[in-house]
Chains A and B, each alone.
Chain A
Amino acid sequence: MKLFKFLLTGFIFGIVLTKAEAVSWYRIYEMFMFQSFHMYGIITVAIVTGIIGIQLIKRKKIKDFSGNPIMIIKKEKGFTRYIVGGILFGLGWGLVGCCPGPIFILLGTGIYSIGIVLLGALIGTYIYGLLKDLLPH
């Protein structure tokens, strides 16, 4: 039953991102070229919804699926990792037009060449693991 809830959330995530065209390379390119409001609209609505949701969770002390109160861990303070990591991610995002979630969604929609992106991403995270202690954070 618990597994079903996770599965359902994943289904909804995949369907919504596909229907909103947020998994489309063109939509991401358009966003960076400032040719369309589409992605900015999606992101703005998502953030407003998220702010309301998180405030409700905090004020009403809403519990998660296992009955524990939902605790959202604050992001660690820092600058270098966020700006440098962000730029590297942005370069990849602009090039292949997808972030980690949509890689799996696109695989599901039958874009098999995205498997190469997935392979690259797995190796990228592995390289981060190897270099973690050497990098400024």
Chain B
Amino acid sequence: MPNAIFSIEAMLSIKGFAILFFGGLLIGFGTRYAGGCTSGHAISGLSNLQVPSLIAVIGFFIGGLLMAHLILPLLF
């Protein structure tokens, strides 16, 4: 795990705390709104050949790609 996000020092800084908290907020809200997470949609849902799960997984990737390619470089 990267120290810049998960060390105790990072957690105690305002920026570090905000990243962890806001990340958690997105995970909790997004999972409930989409009706499942990686296990529920990507693995179980796709295994059961569910179209809604495929839409959700496409969403997961749009979000993840935006974060990794565009937003993370602005944060660090």
Q: Which residues of A contact B (CB under 8 A)?
A: 24-26, 28-29, 31-33, 43, 46-47, 49-51, 53-54, 72, 74-79, 81-101, 103, 106, 111-114, 116-129, 135
B side interface size, CB within 8 A: 61
- A91 touching B66 in the complex, CB below 8 Å, given contacts A47-B47, A96-B20, A96-B24: yes
Residue of A33, A50, A128, A129 near B47 (CB, 8 A) is: A50
| CB atoms of A89 and B37 under 8 A apart | yes
Q: Which residue of A lies closest to B19 (CB)?
A: A95
With A32-B65, A54-B47, A95-B19: A86-B58 Cβ-Cβ less than 8 Å: yes
Pair A116/B30 contact, Cβ less than 8 Å: no
- B23–A46 CB distance below 8 A: no
Chain A residues with CB below 8 A from B11, complex form: 112-113, 116
Q: Which residues of B contact A (CB under 8 A)?
A: 1-2, 5-8, 10-11, 16-17, 19-39, 41-53, 55-69, 71-72
Write the nearest CB–CB distance from B16 to chain A, whole angstroms: 8
Q: Are B5 and A25 in contact (CB under 8 A)?
A: yes
Q: Which residue of B lies closest to A73 (CB)?
A: B48
**Leading 5 A-B pairs by shortest Cβ distance:** A86-B59, A90-B63, A120-B24, A124-B28, A50-B47
Say yes or no: B53 contacts A75, CB within 8 Å. Answer: yes
Q: Which residues of B contact A24 (CB under 8 A)?
A: 1
Q: Which of A33, A47, A90, A94 has the most CB of B within 10 A?
A: A90
Per the bound structure, the CA–CA distance linking A40 and B49 in Å amounts to 18
For the complex, give the distance between the alpha carbons of A121 and B66 in Å. 20
Residue among B49, B53, B60 with the highest chain A CB neighbour number at 10 A = B60
- A119 and B36 CA atoms in complex are apart in Å by 18
Contact at B56–A113, with CB atoms within 8 Å?
no
